[in-house]
Chain A
Amino acid sequence: MAEPKVENSTSPVGESKIRIDAREKVTGAAIYADDIQFGNSLLHARIKRSPHPHALIKKINSEKALALPGVKAIVTGQDFPGYIGLYLKDRFFFCRDRVRYVGDPVAGVVAVSEEIAEKALGLIEVEYEILEPVLDPEYGARPEAPLLHPDLGKYAVASFIFPQPGTNISNHFKIRKGDVNGAWEKCTAIVEHKYRIPHIQHVPIEPHIAIAKVDEAGEITLWGSSQSPFAQRNLIAQSLGISPGKMRVIAPYVGGGFGCKAGVSMESLAVAIAMKVKGRPVKLLLTREEEFFTAFVRQGLTAYFKMGCDENGRLLAMENTFYWDGGAYTEYGVNITRAAGYSSSGPYEVPNVKTDSYCVYTNHPVGGAMRGFGMPEIHAGLEQCIDELALRIGMDAVEFRKLNCLKTGSTLVTGSRMHATGLSQCIEKTAEAIGWGKKAPPSAPNKRRGKGMALMWKAPAMPPNAGSSAWVELAEDGTLNVGVGGQEIGQGVFTVAAQMAAAALGVAYESVRIAAPIDTRYSPYEWQTVASRLTWSMGNAIVNAAKDARKQILDIVAEAWDETPDDLNIVNGVVISYKSEKEIPLKNLVIYGLPKPGDQGWRGGPIIGRGSFMPTYVTGLDAETGQGERAVVHYTTGAQAVELEVDLDTGRIEIIKGVSTFDIGKAINPELVEAQMEGGFVQGMSSALFESLQLKDGVLRNPSFVDYRIATSSDIPKDLQSYIVEVPQDDGPWGARGIGEHSMVPTIPAIANAIYDAVGVRLEGPPFTAEKVYLAMLDAGIVK
């Protein structure tokens, strides 16, 4: 089904079209959730949150708060007994008996103004019985750790997640491939390392926001900054015990998501509160501080790697153990653990692999999806070990990677075969562009220069049957309206959706509009805007919808002209016949149809094409071995390299040059692809050099932009290059695969490897701050 049979000389696919949303975004006209005007009936909500990482709630007294003039209602967990969660239902809207992290919602206040709601929070008295917290995932996985979810065994869970009731382990994913123990003695070189990856935040510039309204009949409308309007409809309704059809989610442009606006988080609070003040819209906008400590975080990770190769440098074995710091609730995080498990070999062919990936409850902020979904975290350590192993065996790190990396047909860690891949080309291009093997002198005597490379692979992590749908309809002027349920979060999906629809139908890109904002009442279903899956999955749905419309159009015209549809085509909005050389513009027939000759009635009617797509071939994996026929839909692969300088006096790192090359199957819009590579590189660089949520006894110490620094315009390298490799995906539209997340996966280890190349030190984990680098150099005797 891959390539639609469209011979269209004006096809916009493969062209760097200007973004469809650019003009409204530069004029300030683009609407984001907080821009929607609700008038005077709008009420404001604030949330009372736990100050303790772990405690039992003994009593909540909200009488004084309720008596405050302007306060309309107060909501606690007592009113909402339903569990919620994406892969594991382990969470209430508001805490009922126990709080599990600093920031856990205990009560909600709704008032006529934000100030009054905030003031009321101070009047709510909560009595806690403090419990011992779990602050480390390795400790949390042990039997002696306090149990955070005694009801784990009762939670509803997806079939591919394996919780261990009676422990804090909410998922244990295993790989048992070959004979690891027997393989070690055949290894000429073995490296073993422990790495720690800190929690980080997504930091979209737009904070989380939700506005909810419940009418007298109990119909719920939710407006929000959302990557997952359909999942929110389903999950929130299920938890409330109402039918999902009673819930409507309207999701305008998202001001940055990166995964933190996927699934359900604070939206459920707004809905719960709105149920107490029927008829009035209720707005809940997270402050930047709340954004830092209550929005989904990227989970922390403690990872142990052991890997070995033979005397020729061929990888023989890997043994990896991952302890994920899942936080207070792991409803989403359990699947990150799984993805890390089935990707635990990295993009390499390794005959013997043993992996244990544990998702562990802790009293830390809640882990959720973040760009890369576990991959930046595991590649950070894995790709440093690869460099070290190459060094041990006396091989160049690029040669070592070329030898061992996945090629088309390689056996994967889950036992299946790799599809067509251009990873080797990515390595070659990246090495060439960074000038691998050539050492340039440092810019000053107190500086050292180094280069480093890292590879990556990543599959969309999702349920096997995550689906997409789309429709297309034409207006009286022949312009095309495309309905999608995938969200524009900055990645440019509306633009590539328009390009694909235009190409598949045969109209100009400029004549396409996307039916936005996404509204679950009008927009076609889409599982979630996550996993870099839209260009591929939603793209297939769009192509199917356009083909459906095309068939309707060509059938009508063929009948009218007494020709066969095979002789007809649609080019630039005009139906043409290759046989009779007749033509008719779409606008002349797509609404009113065509008259039959002699005033004998009409044929056709308004054209509307529908299409859907769902992968049907993903199989389960054996719970004990992690082996199976096809674990995922596909893997995007790629390589990054950096050149940097380390300042010996300060430890400060300056990235001089960055190179990214990814095999994305087909670039529907090359410049948008490059923009993803640039943005991902800088986000990866930012996480490598600056970012870490400083959690002390469960309390976040740096919840502001001043104390949690992200990359600014002055931090980025002067030279950032991006290259595209195109080895087509068999079931991708025009062969396309995703790129959004992948671009930040290999950045941390590429930088770490370059630091090693420059000064010969390795750190236990990012961020590689000047202070840490300097101390490491001091330790190693490189500076005095």
Chain B
Amino acid sequence: MAFHKINITINGGLEQVVVPSNMTLMQMLRENLALTGTKNGCSAGECGACTVLLNGEPVNSCMVLAVECDGTNIVTVEGLAGDQQLDPVQEAIIQSGGVQCGFCTPGILISARALLDRNPDPAEEEIREALVGNLCRCTGYVRIIESVKAAAKV
């Protein structure tokens, strides 16, 4: 197995990581960097629990090889909040009760942040569309959708 040294910006800090060729970005985050906020729900690109921002775009980190991320900028759920302050999508999902078991939540928050970054005032249909790849088995999505609407107003 070949190993590679990669440089990657994660949540604003530069990291140098040695990864085997077949390691996914999700594994690297969870195992090498102990950034366990990014969740593994399927390892197959089908549930969205592992969603992170890669150069500003939401991706399923279980479907991206870590070596491909050399020189990129990654944001995980741990990087959403500022020093003292939560991201508006985090605050809104707390207030609207859109968290239950919480396992889908990191991926949902990242997808929501990506949506609001490209469209600060999305229609309900656009919110539903943006979250369609993030499965949630607990909430029925109602309060999640409400929270994105609320965050858009901030």
Q: Do A and B come from one complex?
A: yes
- B residues contacting A by CB (< 8 A) are 30, 34-44, 46-47, 49, 76-78, 80-81, 86, 90, 93-95, 97, 99-106, 109, 124, 127-129, 131-145
A-B contact list, 17 entries, CB within 8 Å: A21-B102, A23-B86, A27-B77, A29-B37, A29-B78, A35-B36, A207-B40, A287-B43, A288-B42, A490-B101, A679-B138, A681-B140, A682-B140, A683-B140, A714-B129, A716-B142, A718-B124
In the bound complex, what is the Cα–Cα distance between A27 and B76 (angstroms)? 10
In the bound complex, what is the Cα–Cα distance between A704 and B135 (angstroms)? 13
In the bound complex, what is the Cα–Cα distance between A675 and B140 (angstroms)? 8
Asked if A710 is at the interface (CB within 8 A of a chain B CB), the reply is yes
Q: Are A204 and B94 in contact (CB under 8 A)?
A: no
In the bound complex, what is the Cα–Cα distance between A203 and B138 (angstroms)? 10
Given the known A-B contacts A713-B141, A714-B129, are A26 and B93 also in contact in the complex, defined by CB atoms under 8 Å? yes
Q: Which residues of chain A come closer than 8 Å to B134, judged between CB atoms?
A: 713
Asked if A32 is at the interface (CB within 8 A of a chain B CB), the reply is yes
Which stretch from A75-83, A129-137, A251-259, A461-469 is at the chain B interface?
A: A251-259
Asked if A58 is at the interface (CB within 8 A of a chain B CB), the reply is no
The contact of A28 among B106, B137, B138, by CB within 8 Å, is: B106
On chain A, which size bracket covers the interface?
A: 35 or more
Q: Are B97 and A206 in contact (CB under 8 A)?
A: no
Closest to B144 in A: A713
Q: Are A27 and B90 in contact (CB under 8 A)?
A: yes
Q: Are A671 and B101 in contact (CB under 8 A)?
A: no
Asked if A349 is at the interface (CB within 8 A of a chain B CB), the reply is no
State the Cβ distance, A447 to closest chain B Cβ, in Å.
Answer: 19
Residue of A29, A712, A713 with highest tally of chain B CB at under 10 A: A713
Closest to B94 in A: A22
The contact of B39 among A18, A27, A32, A492, by CB within 8 Å, is: A32
In the bound complex, what is the Cα–Cα distance between A150 and B95 (angstroms)? 56
Residue of A16, A255, A492 with highest tally of chain B CB at under 10 A: A255
Q: Are A23 and B94 in contact (CB under 8 A)?
A: yes
Given the known A-B contacts A18-B94, A27-B77, A714-B128, are A204 and B105 also in contact in the complex, defined by CB atoms under 8 Å? no
Closest to A291 in B: B42
The contact of B36 among A28, A672, A681, by CB within 8 Å, is: A28
Interface string of A11-40 (1 = CB under 8 A from B): 000001011011101111111101101000
Other contacts beyond A27-B80, A205-B39, A718-B124: 6, CB < 8 A: A29-B78, A205-B104, A679-B140, A705-B44, A710-B137, A713-B134
Main secondary structure of the interface of B (DSSP, over half): loop
Q: Are A288 and B101 in contact (CB under 8 A)?
A: no
The contact of B143 among A678, A706, A714, by CB within 8 Å, is: A678
State the Cβ distance, B30 to closest chain A Cβ, in Å.
Answer: 8
The contact of B102 among A16, A253, A712, by CB within 8 Å, is: A253
Q: Which residues of chain A come closer than 8 Å to B143, judged between CB atoms?
A: 675, 678
The contact of A704 among B40, B46, B49, by CB within 8 Å, is: B46
Q: Which residues of chain B come closer than 8 Å to A675, judged between CB atoms?
A: 97, 100, 139, 143
State the Cβ distance, A288 to closest chain B Cβ, in Å.
Answer: 4
The 8 closest A-B pairs by CB, nearest first: A28-B37, A490-B101, A255-B103, A682-B140, A25-B102, A490-B100, A35-B36, A705-B46
Asked if A720 is at the interface (CB within 8 A of a chain B CB), the reply is yes
In the bound complex, what is the Cα–Cα distance between A22 and B101 (angstroms)? 9
Q: Which residues of chain A come closer than 8 Å to B129, judged between CB atoms?
A: 714
State the Cβ distance, B134 to closest chain A Cβ, in Å.
Answer: 7
Q: Are B101 and A489 in contact (CB under 8 A)?
A: yes
State the Cβ distance, B8 to closest chain A Cβ, in Å.
Answer: 18
Within 8 A of B (CB), among A685-724: 704-706, 710-714, 716, 718, 720
Interface string of A485-515 (1 = CB under 8 A from B): 0000111100000000000000000000000
The contact of B97 among A35, A288, A671, A714, by CB within 8 Å, is: A671
Q: Are B42 and A705 in contact (CB under 8 A)?
A: yes
Q: Which residues of chain A come closer than 8 Å to B124, judged between CB atoms?
A: 718
Q: Which residues of chain B come closer than 8 Å to A489, judged between CB atoms?
A: 101
Q: Are A25 and B99 in contact (CB under 8 A)?
A: yes
In the bound complex, what is the Cα–Cα distance between A710 and B80 (angstroms)? 28
Q: Which residues of chain B come closer than 8 Å to A679, judged between CB atoms?
A: 100, 138-140
The contact of B137 among A27, A258, A287, by CB within 8 Å, is: A258
In the bound complex, what is the Cα–Cα distance between A26 and B93 (angstroms)? 8
The contact of A26 among B34, B105, B127, by CB within 8 Å, is: B105
Q: Which residues of chain A come closer than 8 Å to B106, judged between CB atoms?
A: 28
Q: Which residues of chain A come closer than 8 Å to B127, judged between CB atoms?
A: 713
